[in-house]
C-alpha cells in the first residue's frame, strides 16, 4: 500500500476544514440576510442544519445575538431565533422568536443546541440567553422548543442560572436564591423524551449560602400526555 506523506494529509485536512468553514459561513450569511440582519452587526451566532420538522427534509436553524442600532440600554442588543426553510434559491423564516421583545429588552449571549430528545428523528431546539434587566440579579433563561400538533411550542422554560443573593432591596428574602441547572441528556434519552431530567445545583437559599451545594434531580414532562 502506498503511503501518503503526512504533509499531504495535513494539507488535505486543512483544505477540507476550510471548505466546511466556507460552507458554514455561507449558510450563516444566507440566514442573516433572510432575516434582515447585517453580518457586521452580529455579535455571536449559531446556524445549524437539521430536521426540526416532520417530513425528512432539513431546515436551517439560526440563533443570533446582534446590535439592533437602537441607542437605548434595553434595546441595543437582541437575541433572535429563526427556523428557515429553503424556498427556491432563498431561505424563508417560518418560525421566529424575538427574545428582546418578549422580555422587555436587556438580553444577550444567546446559545443554541439541537438534540433529538425523544428519538423520533426530529431534533428539539434548546435555547438559552442571559437577561440583564435587574443589575443585581445574574440570570440565564433556557427553553426547550419542539414541534407538535399545533406547530412549534415551548415545552419547558425556566432559569438555567439564577443568583439574586445580592438583590436585597428589590427581591423578597424567600426568592434570594442561587442555583444552576443543566439538562441531563443521557437520562432524558433513556425515557425517549417522555421526561426531561435536569440536575439542579443549589448554592444559596433565601440569601444564605449553604455549607455545601445541594444537588437535586428535577423532572419535567416534555410533552403533555394524551388523555
Predicted model pTM? 0.86
Q: What percent of the chain has pLDDT over 70?
A: 87
Domain hosting 58: range is 6-221
The grid coordinates of residue 128 equal 438559552
pLDDT attached to residue 25: 60
Given a cut of 70, whether residue 90 has pLDDT beyond it is yes
Q: What is the overall mean pLDDT for the chain? A: 89
- β-pair type (77-87, 151-163): unpaired
Q: What is the pLDDT of residues 180-191, one digit of tens each?
A: 999 999 999 999
**CB neighbour list of residue 162: distance below 8 Å, 6 or more residues apart:** 137, 138, 139, 140, 177, 178, 179, 180
Residue 76: inside a domain: yes
pLDDT (0 to 100) of residue 118: 93
Predicted confidence band at 8 (pLDDT cuts at 50, 70, 90)? very low
User: Looking at 17-21, 108-112, 186-190, which range is the least confident one?
Assistant: 17-21
Give the long-range contacts of residues 57-62, CB within 8 A, separation 24 or more: 57/85, 59/83, 59/84, 59/85, 59/94, 60/27, 60/30, 60/31, 60/84, 60/85, 60/86, 60/91, 61/112, 61/114, 61/125, 62/28, 62/31, 62/32, 62/35, 62/112
How far lies 176's CA from each of 116, 205, 225, in Å?
Answer: 35, 6, 34
Q: How many domains does the chain have?
A: 1
Whether pLDDT at 13 is above 70: no
Specify the pLDDT at position 15.
39
In a domain, 227, yes or no: no
Q: What are the grid coordinates assigned to 25, written together?
A: 459561513
- Given this model, what pLDDT does residue 223 score? 83
Q: Does some domain include residue 226? A: no
Residue 34 forms part of a structural domain? yes
Asked whether residue 43 is assigned to any structural domain, the reply reads: yes
Amino acid at each position: 500500500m502506498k503511503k501518503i506523506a503526512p504533509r499531504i494529509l495535513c494539507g488535505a485536512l486543512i483544505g477540507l476544514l476550510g471548505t466546511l468553514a466556507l460552507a458554514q459561513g455561507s449558510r450563516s450569511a444566507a440566514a442573516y440576510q433572510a432575516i434582515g440582519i447585517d453580518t457586521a452587526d452580529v455579535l455571536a451566532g449559531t446556524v445549524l442544519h437539521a430536521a426540526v420538522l416532520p417530513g425528512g427534509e432539513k431546515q436551517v436553524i439560526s440563533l443570533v445575538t446582534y446590535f439592533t442600532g437602537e441607542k437605548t440600554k434595553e434595546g441595543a442588543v437582541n437575541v433572535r431565533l429563526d427556523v428557515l426553510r429553503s424556498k427556491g434559491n432563498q431561505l424563508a423564516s417560518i418560525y421566529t422568536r424575538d427574545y428582546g421583545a418578549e422580555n422587555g429588552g436587556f438580553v444577550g449571549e444567546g446559545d443554541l443546541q439541537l438534540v433529538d430528545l425523544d428519538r423520533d428523528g426530529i431534533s428539539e431546539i434548546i435555547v438559552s440567553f442571559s437577561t440583564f434587566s435587574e443589575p443585581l440579579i445574574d440570570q440565564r433563561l433556557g427553553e426547550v422548543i419542539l414541534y407538535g400538533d399545533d406547530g412549534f411550542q415551548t415545552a419547558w422554560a425556566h432559569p438555567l442560572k439564577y443568583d439574586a443573593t445580592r438583590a436585597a432591596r428589590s427581591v423578597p428574602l424567600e426568592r434570594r436564591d442561587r442555583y444552576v441547572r443543566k439538562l441531563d441528556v443521557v437520562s432524558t434519552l433513556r425515557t425517549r423524551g417522555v421526561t426531561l431530567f435536569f440536575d439542579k445545583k443549589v448554592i444559596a437559599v433565601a440569601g444564605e449560602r449553604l455549607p455545601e451545594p445541594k444537588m437535586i434531580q428535577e423532572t419535567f414532562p416534555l410533552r403533555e400526555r394524551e388523555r
